[in-house]
Amino acid sequence: QLQLVESGGGLVQPGGSLRVSCVGAGRTLGTYSIGWFRQAPGKERERVSCISGVDGTIRYADSVEGRFTISRDNFKNTVYLQMNSLKPEDAGVYYCAVDPRANCSNQNPNEYHYWGQGTQVTVSS
């Protein structure tokens, strides 16, 4: 059984950077497509990025394009989300999950699996 564990969240000032991590336990992440989602209070969970385990395709939400970078380290069984130039509207709980379609074309969180517990990102001065 695959388990995903997120970490790296915290408090950062606007304009600052954070890197959140998604570590896989129980199975190798290398062939899975992994999506990063965030959820702010009172808002729906939205996908901010995804990296395909099949062909390396990477996708970003328009709101984070050019500021966030997703990557993976198969030796560490980890997927990262580097977040730069953070804005208050980037705040929320960040989750990683597996895209069963494996090509990152799917943005519906209800169709993702193996959700981690999330890591809180707060952007405030």
pLDDT tens digits for range 40-66: 999 999 999 999 998 889 999 999 999
Quick check: 1 pLDDT over 90?
Answer: no
Quick check: 100 pLDDT over 90?
Answer: no
> Over 70-91, what HEC string results?
EEEECCCCEEEEEECCCCHHHC
Q: Chain-wide mean pLDDT for the chain?
A: 95
Query: Tokens 């990102």 map to which residue?
Result: 121
- Token pair for residue 27? 């199975």
- How would DSSP label each residue in 27-66? S--TTSEEEEEEE-TTS--EEEEEE-SSS--EEE-TTTTT
Q: Can you give the pLDDT at residue 103?
A: 85
* Of 79, 71, 86, 81, the residue nearest 17 (C-alpha): 86
pLDDT digits (tens, 9 = 90+) for 64-86: 999 999 999 999 999 999 999 99
**What is the per-residue burial (b if ≥16 Cβ within 10 Å, else e) of 2-36?**
eebebbbbeebeeeeebebbbbbeeeebeebbbbb
